[in-house]
């Protein structure tokens, strides 16, 4: 929560914000609405608001309650080509398999959660 708040606060360096009261309000919204829906609303508010988003602006941008989260990937990603997984090299050797042939993969940084209507 504090990382998202600090990241948002850094986007508005010249604005004086009552940090403690805003953070308390953000925590209440996140608990009431769910972390992923709250996070999506904050990101949308950051793109649309000229000033630090007021809690009411975040609430107005919450995804619909009947929507469901799905993973999305950037089609133009140079790392994963829109597949969502990147190769991080060969698997570590183990006593059972001292020379593994398979590579390891992990989720690409371009992956993000979007909400679609159920």
In angstroms, the CA 55 to CA 19 distance is 12
Token readout for 93 is 């050797």
Of 51, 54, 58, the residue nearest 14 (C-alpha) = 51
Contacting residues for 21 by C-beta, under 8 A, at least 6 apart:
none
Task: Look at residue 29 in the predicted model and tell me its pLDDT.
Answer: 93
Query: How confident is the model over 41-45, as a mean pLDDT?
Result: 92
Least confident span in 15-19, 41-45, 104-108: 15-19
Q: Report whether pLDDT(4) > 70.
A: yes
Name the β-bridge partners of 25. none
In angstroms, the CA 58 to CA 5 distance is 12
Q: Read out DSSP for 40-87?
A: HHHHHHHHH-SSSPPHHHHHHTPPPTTEEEEEE--TT-TTTTTSSEEE
What is the overall mean pLDDT for the chain?
Answer: 86
Condensed to tens digits (0 to 9), the pLDDT of residues 95-114 reads 887 877 778 888 998 888 88
Of residues 116 and 32, the one with the higher pLDDT is 32
Predicted structure pTM score: 0.61
Where do the structural domains in the chain lie, given as residue ranges? 2-63, 71-117
Task: Look at residue 118 in the predicted model and tell me its pLDDT.
Answer: 63
In angstroms, the CA 48 to CA 106 distance is 32
Condensed to tens digits (0 to 9), the pLDDT of residues 81-93 reads 888 899 888 777 7
Condensed to tens digits (0 to 9), the pLDDT of residues 48-80 reads 998 889 999 999 999 888 888 888 888 899 998
């Amino acid at each position: 929560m504090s990382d998202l708040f600090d990241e948002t606060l850094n986007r508005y360096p010249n604005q004086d914000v009552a940090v403690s009261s805003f953070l308390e309000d953000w925590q209440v919204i996140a608990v009431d609405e769910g972390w992923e829906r709250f996070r999506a609303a904050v990101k949308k508010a950051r793109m649309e608001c000229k000033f630090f988003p007021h809690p009411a602006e975040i609430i107005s941008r919450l995804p619909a309650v009947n929507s469901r989260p799905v993973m999305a990937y950037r089609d133009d990603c140079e790392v994963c080509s829109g597949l969502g997984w990147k190769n991080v090299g060969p698997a570590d050797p183990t006593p059972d398999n001292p020379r593994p042939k398979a590579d390891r993969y992990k989720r690409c940084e371009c992956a993000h959660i979007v909400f679609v209507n159920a």
